[in-house]
A and B are shown apart, each in its own frame.
Chain A
């Protein structure tokens, strides 16, 4: 189960061009600039660490998540169904009718 950590406010100074770029990217995705920055930092952090260790940790945490929520491990077909649903949700967010 994801852990809700304490949140800390941080102020950073960035070049105007970088902020403009982030703002444009956030606008395309209907994000706030803060959400976009969180996302970018998260992606950068995801590229740190040994993949096999991270995979093992993820498996432990996912097992814990299932136990905490009382859910069974989804079947392959259930994963397909979830991925199909998410694809259309994201599409509707990116390109609202």
Chain B
């Protein structure tokens, strides 16, 4: 069985936005969210929810979140990461927004972030989680 099915994975904001907007450069986001989400255990940090509220109109937000109820497991995390963990990633050179996300995943022991941002914290060595694309997840699911 594929390992990605056995762990909680976080979806970055861009997964939802590209899926709902059917972005032509990122077709795998739509496929993952609307066709294969039922095979995954999903973690949604509060930062992503807040960002989605700003990036999408209300009906798009509803459309973006509705598929999540098909997930094997769904964990909404409305807490925040410890400030010292945020500072740790900022001191390593991360932008504030990226540092908060990284700290949240690290503090929650999430080891996979699905994101189309290939440059997400790529300047930081030994990230405590991997960053993979929707296409990679689909390949892993088979």
Give A residues with C-beta under 8 Å from B: 2, 25, 28-29, 39, 42-43, 45-52, 54-55, 57-59, 61-62, 65, 76, 79-80, 82-84, 86-95
Contacts and interface: CB of A to CB of B under 8 A. Distances in A.
Nearest to B24: A76
Contacts of B96: 88, 91-92, 95
A2 B86 CA distance: 35
Contacts of B20: 55, 58
Size category of the binding interface on chain B: 35 or more
B66 A65 contact: no
Contacts of A47: 65-66, 68-69
B57 A65 contact: yes
Interface in B45-81: 46-47, 49-51, 53-55, 57-70, 76, 78-80
28 contacts: A28-B80, A43-B65, A46-B64, A46-B66, A47-B65, A47-B68, A47-B69, A49-B62, A51-B34, A51-B66, A51-B70, A54-B62, A54-B63, A55-B66, A57-B63, A58-B59, A58-B60, A61-B57, A61-B59, A62-B21, A76-B23, A76-B26, A79-B23, A83-B14, A87-B101, A91-B47, A91-B95, A94-B100
